[in-house]
Chains A and B, each alone.
Chain A
């Protein structure tokens, strides 16, 4: 299984600022996924990031608010822009695991609080 790390693990930010979250994988993967886990809500897919192409965003999420970079096959960043308290959430990246079911493996998450 892939080993995934995320930075930062947590942060407290002021309204109107931006935060960039990093996701690093110990092996090369084609697709990386960014999810949001709001309190009491289900994990929701924000976007899918393929190396060398623009990220594909799910309904309700836009690139201006959540720009994503995917410079190589082991790394991706998600930026949460112009933050408001409603952006307080856990942000998780996941990758294809290459296992028997090609299941997704998740990073530990970044816990974001916006004041």
Chain B
């Protein structure tokens, strides 16, 4: 069993829709949770960073963590074609310089 499971998609939604991306994990010791966005032929860029259960909002993006269920989500409101990318969840045991454990990534396409 993989430590982090993520539906690889691909996922296609019309522009303006709400997108929900999810990851589950098996190691309850993970404390820090990240969402990275990766455009084609680019390196991943950090989108959201959370470290507690609950919701964290940043513009059109909301990250949700449920440690009791070992489940994290990223919601994108009013999706735009520029949101088309692969979204990777990642998590770590400790803060800072630390091994990141990634999901496989979900490829998202926003259709104009």
- Residues of A participating in the B interface, judged by any CB pair closer than 8 Å: 4, 30-31, 33, 40-45, 48, 58, 92, 94, 96-97, 101-109, 111
Chain A residues closer than 8 Å to B32, beta-carbon distance:
101
Whether A107 contacts B43 by the Cβ 8 Å rule is yes
Contact indicator B97/A45 (Cβ below 8 Å): no
Known contacts A58-B99, A103-B34: A40-B43 contact under CB 8 Å: no
Among B14-22, B61-69, B72-80, B100-108, the one that faces the other chain is: B100-108
Task: Determine if B95 and A101 form an interchain contact, defined as CB atoms under 8 angstroms apart.
Answer: yes
The distance from the CB of A107 to the nearest CB of chain B, in whole angstroms, is 5
Give the number of A-B contacts (CB < 8 Å).
Answer: 60
Give the distance to chain B from A27, nearest Cβ to Cβ, in Å: 15
Question: How long is the Cα–Cα vector from A101 to B99 in the complex, in angstroms?
Answer: 14
B42 interface residue (CB < 8 Å to A): yes
Q: Which residues of B contact A42 (CB under 8 A)?
A: 2, 4, 6, 88, 101-105
Tell me whether B97 and A106 are in contact (CB under 8 A). no
Set of chain A residues within 8 Å of B44, measured between Cβ atoms: 43, 92, 106
Contact (Cβ within 8 A) A43 B102: yes
Give B contacts to A, CB under 8 Å: 2, 4, 6, 8, 32, 34, 36, 41-46, 49, 88, 90, 95-97, 99-105
**B88 in contact with A43 (CB, 8 Å):** yes
Contact of B41 among A43, A97, A108 (CB under 8 A): A108
Q: Which of A31, A43, A101 has the most CB of B within 10 A?
A: A43
Bound CA span A115–B95, Å: 40
Chain A residues contacting B104 (CB-CB under 8 Å) are: 40-42
